[in-house]
Structure 1
Amino acid sequence: MIHASAAPDPVMEAIGRAVMEGQNGDLAAARARLAELWARIGVSGDPLHRCTLAHSMADLYDDPAQALAWDVRALDAADAATDERVQAHHAGLELAGFYPSLHLNLADDYRRLASFEAAQAHIDAAEKAVPALPEGPYGDLIRGAVKEVAAAIAAKDSAPRASAPGSGS
C-alpha cells in the first residue's frame, strides 16, 4: 500500500522506513516507530496516513486480537479517505483498490479468533471488492489469499496461515 509519492510525504516515508525495519526482523522497533507516528497523526489525522500506518501495524502482530484492532482502524481510515487524497499521494491509485486487502485482513483476523460469522462477512466484502485490484503480482497475491481465507472459513479452520503477513508478536 506504500507507493512513490508525486511530492515527498514525510509521514509516508517514515511509515515506509518503519515497515522496512519490521521486514528486516526488528518488529519491536517497527511497532515503536509506528506507535510514535500514530500518536503524532492522531485519530482524526490524514486518513491516508492512518490507513497506511494501521494496515502496516496490523501485519507486525501474530496475535489476531492485536492485528484486528489495527485492521479495524485501517478500514475506518479508508472509509474516511477520498480518491482525491489518495491520488495526490500517487497518481492513478484508487481507494477501491484498498478494500480487498483491508477486508481480507479483517476476515483472517476474525477467522483466527474463531468468529466465523464475522469472518464470512468480511471475506464476502473482500470478494465483492476484488475487481478493483490491479492485474499483476500484487493483485494475484490478494486474489489468491482471498480464496485461501474463504476456504479456511468454510472449513472452520482457525489455524494461522503460513502465507499470512506478520512475523511475530
Structure 2
Amino acid sequence: MADDRMADIYAAVRLGGVDRAAARRALTEVWEELGEDGDPVQRCVVAHHLADVQDCAEDALYWDQRALAAVFAYGVPLDEGLRGFLPSLYLNLADSQRRTGDFESARMQLTIARGHLDVLAHDAYGDIIRSGLEHVEQALAAGSTERLSA
C-alpha cells in the first residue's frame, strides 16, 4: 500500500514537468487522502512537491511550511530518512521567503539549511542542494524576488 501511494505521488510529481495545474490537482488529491494522520514521509514529499508547482510565491511558501511541519509533527521520530530531507526543505523555504520579499527569514532558513548539510552525500543530489543554496544566496544579495530557473 505504501509503495502504491509513493507510485501515485511520483506519477503526480512527473506531471509537474508538463502540466503544473494537473500536478497540483493530483498532488492535492493525494494530500487530502493522506489526511492529518498520514505517513509523515509521504506528507512531506507531497507538500514539498506541491510547493514546486505553485504559480505564486505565497502559495509555494504555504506548502513549503507544510512539508517542514510534516517532518516535525508531534510524535514523529526524526529518523535518518526524514533528516535527509532537511537541507532541501530549508532551502525551498528560504527561496519561497525570498520570493515573498521576506529576506531576513530567507537568510535564517539558508543558515539552518547549511547546518544540515552534513546529512548529504557528496553526490549529484548533494551538489544540487549545495548549488541551490548558492543561487538563493546570490538572489538574496541582489534583492531579487524573481523565480529562479531550475
**Residue in structure 1 matched with residue 127 of structure 2 by the alignment:** 140
**Residue in structure 1 matched with residue 83 of structure 2 by the alignment:** 96
Cα displacement (A) at 1:73? 0.3
Amino acid at match of 2:32: A
Cα displacement (A) at 1:58? 0.8
Cα displacement (A) at 1:44? 2.6
- Residue 62 (structure 1) aligned with residue 55 (structure 2): yes
TM-score by length of structure 1 reads 0.81
Aligned ranges 1:15-94 → 2 under 5 Å: 15-23=9-17, 25-80=18-73, 81-82=76-77, 94=81
- In structure 1, runs of 5+ residues without a counterpart are 1-6, 85-92, 164-169
Structure of higher RCO (CA pairs closer than 8 Å, 6+ residues apart): 1
**Taking structure 1 as reference, are residues 127 and 114 closer, same or farther at Cα in structure 2, changes over 3 Å only?**
same
Does the Cα contact within 8 Å between 2:86 and 2:113 map onto a contact in 1? yes
| Structure 2 Cα separation of the partners of residues 157 and 32 of structure 1 | 29
| Structure 2 Cα separation of the partners of residues 159 and 26 of structure 1 | 21
12, 21, 28: which one aligns with 2:6:
12
Does the Cα contact within 8 Å between 1:97 and 1:134 map onto a contact in 2? no
Deviating beyond 6 angstroms after TM superposition, the runs of 4 or more aligned structure 1 residues are none
- Residue 149 (structure 1) aligned with residue 136 (structure 2): yes
- In structure 2, runs of 5+ residues without a counterpart are none
Equivalent pairs counted in the alignment come to 148
Partner SS state of residue 94, structure 1: helix
Does the Cα contact within 8 Å between 2:16 and 2:53 map onto a contact in 1? yes
Amino acid at match of 2:105: A
Percent identity between matched residues is 41
**Residue in structure 2 matched with residue 4 of structure 1 by the alignment:** none
Cα displacement (A) at 1:11? 1.2
| Structure 2 Cα separation of the partners of residues 126 and 19 of structure 1 | 23
Cα displacement (A) at 1:83? 5.3
| Structure 2 Cα separation of the partners of residues 57 and 160 of structure 1 | 16
| Structure 2 Cα separation of the partners of residues 83 and 107 of structure 1 | 21
Q: Deviations over 1:112-141 (max 9, x none)?
A: 111111111111111111121122111000
| Structure 1 Cα separation of the partners of residues 106 and 78 of structure 2 | 27
Cα displacement (A) at 1:147? 1.2
